[in-house]
Structure 1
Amino acid sequence: MLVFPKFSEKIKSFAKSAIFIYPLIVIISIPLLLALNTFWNLRSFNRDVNFFIRHQAVGIADTLKPSIEKGLENRDELYILLHTATNANQDILSVSILTEKNNKIDVLATTNNDDANEAIKLKHTQFALGSDQSFAGLIYDPDIRKNVWSVAVPLEIESDNKYLLSLKMKTDTVEEILSRTSKDSITILIILIIITLILLANHFIFYKKALRAQQLAELDRLKDEFISMAAHELRTPITALTGYLELLRDKISPSQLPDLKEDLDTLDSLTSDLHNLIDDLLEVSRIEQNRLKIETGKVQLNEVITKVIKNLTPLALQKNLVIKFTPNPLTEINSDGERLRQVVTNLIGNSIKYTLKGTIEIKAEQKEKMIEVTVSDTGIGIPADQLPKLFGKFHRVKDKQTREVRGTGLGLWITKQIVEMLGGKILAQSIYGTGTSISFTLPVS
Structure 2
Amino acid sequence: MKLSGNGGFFLKKYSQVIYAIVLIILIPLTILLNSIFIVRKFENDISRQLRRQALIVAELFDKTAFDTVDDIASVQDRIKRLLGGTEELRSFDILAPTETGNFQTIASSLPRNIGTNVSDRQALLVWAEDVGYAELTEATQQDVIQNPDLLNQRYWKVLFPLHDSEGKKIALLNLKMSLAYSDALFKKSLLQSWLLLIGTLGIVLALLFVNTRLLEYAISFRKLEEVNKMKDEFISMASHELRTPITAIRGYVSMFADGSFGAVSAAGAKSIAIIQASIRRLADLVEDLLDVSRIEQRRMQLSIEQIKLDEIITQTIDELMVSAQVKGLVLTYTGGATAPVSADKNKLRQVLVNLVGNAIKYTVKGSVTVSQTEETDTVTIHIKDTGIGIPAQDRDRLFTKFYRVESESTKGIVGTGLGLWITKQLVTLMGGTIYLESMENVGTEISFSLPKEKRAPAQNGAVAR
CA drift at 1:210: 0.8
Rounded to whole Å, the distance in 2 between the matches of 1:230 and 1:337 is 27
Unmatched segments (≥5 aa) in structure 1 = 1-7
Is residue 153 from structure 1 mapped to residue 153 from structure 2 by the alignment?
A: no
Which deviates more from structure 2 when the two are superposed, residues 70-79 or residues 269-278? 70-79
Deviation at 1:171, TM superposition (A): 3.1
Counterpart-to-counterpart distance in 2, 1:253 and 1:352: 36
- The CA distance in 1 between the partners of 2:447 and 2:298, in whole Å, is 25
Does residue 102 of structure 2 align to residue 94 of structure 1?
no
* Change over 3 Å in CA distance of 1:122–1:164 after alignment to 2: same
Establish whether residue 269 from structure 1 lines up as the match of residue 277 from structure 2: yes
TM-score, normalisation: structure 2? 0.83
Contact 2:436–2:445 under 8 Å retained in 1: yes
Change in 2 beyond 3 A, CA 1:12/1:136: closer
1:387 is displaced (CA, Å) by 1.7
The question of whether the paired residues in 1 share the 8 Å contact of 2:161 and 2:169 is answered with: no
Structure 1 residue 344: Cα displacement: 1.0
Letter in 1 for 2:49: F
Q: Against the structure 1 CA distance between its residues 341 and 97, is the aligned structure 2 distance closer, same or farther, given a 3 Å change threshold?
A: same
Task: Tell me which amino acid in the other structure corresponds to 1:64.
Answer: F
CA distance in 1, matches of 2:63, 2:406: 104
The answer as to whether partners of 2:102 and 2:118 remain within 8 angstroms in 1 is: no
The amino acid that maps onto 1:391 is F
Per the alignment, do residues 15 and 72 of structure 1 end up closer, same or farther by CA in structure 2, a change over 3 Å counting? same
The one of 56, 61, 64 aligned to 2:61: 64
Counterpart residue type for residue 96 of structure 1: D
Separation of aligned partners in 1, 2:100 and 2:370: 121
Point out the more displaced range, 174-183 or 32-41. 32-41
How far is the alpha carbon of 1:97 from its aligned partner?
A: 2.5
Alpha carbons of 1:349 and 1:87: their partners in 2 closer, same or farther (altered >3 Å)? closer
Question: Does 1 or 2 have the higher relative contact order (CA < 8 Å, sep 6+)?
Answer: 2
Change (3 A) 1:328 1:168: same
Counterpart of 1:15? 14
Taking a change above 3 Å as real, the CA distance of residues 207 and 331 of structure 1, as seen in their structure-2 partners, is same
RMSD of equivalent CA atoms: 3.2
Give the drift of 1:179.
3.0
Aligned counterparts, 1:282-301, within 5 A? 282-301=290-309
Deviating more after overlay: 91-100 vs 416-425: 91-100
Measured in 2, the distance between the counterparts of 1:196 and 1:116 equals 63
Conserved? CA contact 1:140–1:148, under 8 Å: yes
Partners of 1:137 and 1:149 within 8 A in 2: yes
Map residues 211-360 of structure 1 onto 2, 5 A cutoff: 211-249=219-257, 250-251=259-260, 253-254=262-263, 256-360=264-368
Aligned to 2:106: 109
**Residues 41 and 291 of structure 1: CA distance in aligned 2, closer, same or farther (over 3 Å):** same
* Structure 1 outlier segments of 4+, above 6 Å: 8-11, 20-28, 113-119
Letter in 2 for 1:166: N
- The answer to whether structure 1 residue 166 and structure 2 residue 180 are counterparts is no
Q: Normalization by structure 1: what TM-score?
A: 0.87
Answer whether contact 1:14 1:21 (CA < 8 A) is retained: no
CA positional deviation for 1:105:
4.0
CA–CA distance in 2 between the matches of 1:147 and 1:264? 109
State the 1:237 CA deviation.
0.8
Identity over aligned pairs, percent:
31
Cα contact 2:359–2:384 (8 A) shared by 1: yes
Q: Provide Cα deviations, 1:259-284, integer angstroms capped at 9, x if missing partner.
A: 32211110100011101111111111
What residue number does 1:4 align with?
none
Deviation at 1:26, TM superposition (A): 6.8
Q: How many residues align?
A: 435
TM-superposed deviation, 1:32: 4.8
Q: Which runs of 5+ in 2 are unaligned?
A: 1-6, 145-150, 454-465
